[in-house]
Amino acid sequence: MTKTILRALAGETLPTPPIWMMRQAGRYLPEYRATRAQAGDFLSLCYNPELAAEVTLQPIRRYGFDAAILFADILLIPQALGADLWFVTGEGPRLSTVTSADDLKKLKPATDIHYHLSPVYETVRILSRELPSETTLIGFAGAPWTVATYMIAGQGTPDQGPAHALKNENREVFVALLDLITDATINYMSAQIEAGAEVVKIFDSWAGSLSAQDFQDFAIAPAIKIIAALKAKHPGVPIIAFPRGAGEAYVGLHAATGADCVALDDGVTAEWAAKHVQVDGCIQGNLKSSHMVTGGDALVSETRRIVDAFKGGPHIFNLGHGITPDADPENVQLMIDTVREAR
């Protein structure tokens, strides 16, 4: 029997939606924390295929999710392109910045990323061998706009201000950087598929800060290019698009991008999305991740409400954003039990 997530992505309405969870391999799990300590630091964990595969498998063993998502980070592409990357404990990533034509010239061509990223492809190969036969393997990358915001600012920012400034003040450099990231993303995701990823997802975590024409030019247009290139090379491999914060721009996104599934954040209601987005194909989402911290009756009732709202079409149950480190592992089990009992 075809895997449940692949059935949903193909447009099938299932009696029970398949489940996985963004950042399901992460700091809320004691076994993850132990493995990360063994690796030494976050980047060492990303580049150690055996340990990266282990933390990817941990939530599958514990919860029996319907999919595993490759353990990696969206900022491995900038590093593969030649940017310096390091993580500051308690603060997050830091990168060397790209804000000028000279900075851009220091970066490598999009075709030169594979040697640096070869450990990631090995992780995918290990997972494709070791995952249970019913579990779908999802690969991923950050969307060009989101990755660019980190490369331009040198770190995460609350409003992506430095990227907006470069976009407005030196559009030639900004567009060239976006094009480079787009081409590298195509190469990276294609290699993940060749290594065994059955589905890939594009995370545009900061799409919501783009408005009007900029959303079309810098969120939609790169997604179109990436999805078309992957579909041409790997027909039949489903693609999930996640432009977080898109709001009403979620409407028509399947057709606009060519994505097989649109992942929803928790800024839209399931009832609205069922009416306006799910009519065009599979959707994924969209329980608030805060319920993984607070649990209780509110978690159960919200989970049931989302399952009920989306029961008329193809749906993959997920959170509206990644699970947070302060989540209670028992609340994850409660969510899964509630979804699977809701049929």
Catalytic option among 23, 66, 244, 266: 23
Catalytic option among 28, 36, 66, 265: 36
Q: Burial of 158 by CB count in 10 Å (0-12 exposed, 13-18 middle, 19+ buried)?
A: exposed
Catalytic option among 66, 73, 260, 266: 73
Catalytic option among 27, 62, 94, 125: 27
Give the per-residue pLDDT at 343.
52
Q: What residues are paired with 315 via a beta bridge? A: 283
Structural fold of domain 71-263: TIM Barrel (3.20.20)
User: Does residue 27 have an active-site annotation?
Assistant: yes
Give the per-residue pLDDT at 1.
63
Catalytic option among 63, 121, 150, 188: 150
Residue 183 is encoded by which pair of tokens? 């081409």
Give the per-residue pLDDT at 89.
84
CA 83 to chain centre: 21
CA atoms of 1 and 5, how far apart (whole Å): 12
Kindly report, as residue ranges, where domains of CATH 3.20.20.210 are found in the chain: 71-263
Helix (H, G, I), strand (E, B) or coil at 14: coil
User: Which whole-number Å values give the CA distances from 308 to 263, 270, 297, 339, in the listed order?
Assistant: 17, 9, 16, 10
User: Does residue 23 have an active-site annotation?
Assistant: yes
User: Does residue 343 have an active-site annotation?
Assistant: no
Tens of pLDDT, residue by residue, the chain (343 residues)? 689 999 999 999 999 999 999 999 999 999 999 999 999 999 999 999 999 999 999 999 999 999 999 999 999 999 999 999 999 988 899 999 999 999 999 999 999 999 999 999 999 999 999 999 999 999 999 999 999 999 999 999 999 999 999 999 999 999 999 999 999 999 999 999 999 999 999 999 999 999 999 999 999 999 999 999 999 999 999 999 999 999 999 999 999 999 999 999 999 999 999 999 999 999 999 999 999 999 999 999 999 999 999 999 999 999 999 999 999 999 999 999 999 995 5
